[in-house]
Amino acid sequence: MAEPAGARTCVIALDVGGTSMKGALLDRTVRPLTTLHGPTPRSQGPEATVDAITRLLGDLAGAAVGIGVEPVAAGVVVPGIVDEPAQRAVHSVNLGWCDLPLAAVLTDATGLPVRIGHDVRAGGTAESRLGAARGFDDALFVAIGTGVSAAHLVGGRPLRASGYAGELGHLAVAPGAEQCACGMRGCLEAVASARAIAAAYAARSGHEVEGAEEVAALVAGGDPVACRVWQSAVEALAEAFAACAAVLAPEVIVVGGGLSRAGGLLLDPLRVALDRRLSCHRRPELVRAALGAQAGCLGAGLLGWEAADADPAAGRPAGLVADRVGGAL
């Protein structure tokens, strides 16, 4: 789609999560012009969620008019299994939909070209083009939050496999672990996700915590139960990363998601545990994501500009884009 001649244009970017949605208008430099947030009404069913997405896209389009810019396309990223070539949301446990032609539904509702993508693959693409994985041909982006998911990028392009690639959270790494939400035992997600870490600490200590961030604070303070839980998560992540190193040989592993906020408390022991598991393999650099919670929305914006037949971020210095968006979303 060609941009209107002489118009100041933007794209609408929307990152749909299990509990909330983050939206923004992004200009050609991938700079947020305005941002909006909204709840994800997943408890009300998939139709309510699609309606909420449509409303937030409409609100962002209205905000564009208010600041004198014209949206030319939209990018929307969602969790679950997403078939990007077919532009269908195949399945999402969290959002409840199945084989939904989401791009077509949203295009009809908004009158804009809409391109959908997978939230973690989009975040990985953003980190590859704008953030911590810039300059690497082969990268693995791992988002560790409520769940664990990954994106493998080769030459900056994510492996999709009809939407099934990247389910790192359901790699069996700890046979004696609790049952995973997927029904299997030993999944990485059942040991090393933020939710699993908080649950394991509560079970072993008898004290409820609000989340993995609180467990991390206890680890920093030397709490022995928290340290054991944390080390179990580190070892499980190292096991999964070693398998990825053996099969995929990434040059860099970028750790994102909420757990990455622990910084060196997570990455330092993880480097040691990973190194113990590698022999003749390529040893990937292990780094923290640069774009933080913005990665999914920025990746959605890149999809939007692709839908508009434009490529705003190619060749831009990583620091420039990251600095301009820092803290904005």
Q: Token pair of 251, please?
A: 């040059």
Q: Per-residue pLDDT tens for 65-86?
A: 999 999 999 999 998 889 999 9
323 pLDDT exceeds 50? no
Report phi then psi at 303, rounded to 5.
-65, -40
Q: Do domains 9-123+292-325 and 135-288 have the same CATH topology?
A: yes
More confident site: 263 or 322 = 263
CB-based contact 54:16 (threshold 8 Å): no
135-288: CATH class: alpha beta
pLDDT at residue 116 in the model = 96
Torsion of CA 304, 310, 316, 321, to 10 degrees: -30
Quick one: CATH architecture of 9-123+292-325?
A: 2-Layer Sandwich (3.30)
311 pLDDT exceeds 70? no
Q: Token pair of 119, please?
A: 């939230």
Q: Single out the residue of 28, 16, 259, 27 nearest to residue 122, CA to CA.
A: 16
327 pLDDT exceeds 80? no
d(CA 314, CA 223): 46
How far are the Cα atoms of 12, 43, 51, 100, 115 from residue 46, in angstroms, in the given order? Answer: 22, 8, 9, 10, 19
95: helix, strand or coil: coil
Q: Single out the residue of 27, 25, 20 nearest to residue 59, CA to CA.
A: 25
Amino acid letter, 190:
A
Query: How confident is the prediction for the chain on average, in pLDDT?
Result: 89
Stretch 269-284: mean pLDDT, rounded? 96
Q: What angle do CA 298, 264, 262 make, to 5 degrees?
A: 60
Binning pLDDT at 50, 70 and 90, where does residue 310 land?
A: low
pLDDT at residue 318 in the model = 36
Domain ranges of the chain: 9-123+292-325, 135-288
Binning pLDDT at 50, 70 and 90, where does residue 165 land?
A: confident
Q: Per-residue pLDDT tens for 197-246?
A: 999 999 999 999 989 999 999 999 999 999 999 999 999 999 999 999 99
The region that residue 234 occupies, defined by phi over 0 for left and psi between -120 and 50 for alpha, beta otherwise, is alpha
Q: Per-residue pLDDT tens for 101-155?
A: 999 999 999 999 999 999 999 999 999 999 999 999 999 999 998 889 999 999 8
d(CA 40, CA 51): 10
pLDDT at residue 179 in the model = 84
Q: What is the pTM of this model?
A: 0.85
pLDDT at residue 300 in the model = 96
pLDDT at residue 7 in the model = 61
pLDDT at residue 314 in the model = 45
How far are the Cα atoms of 142, 245, 253, 278 from residue 282, in angstroms, in the given order? Answer: 18, 7, 12, 8
Q: Token pair of 211, please?
A: 């989340």
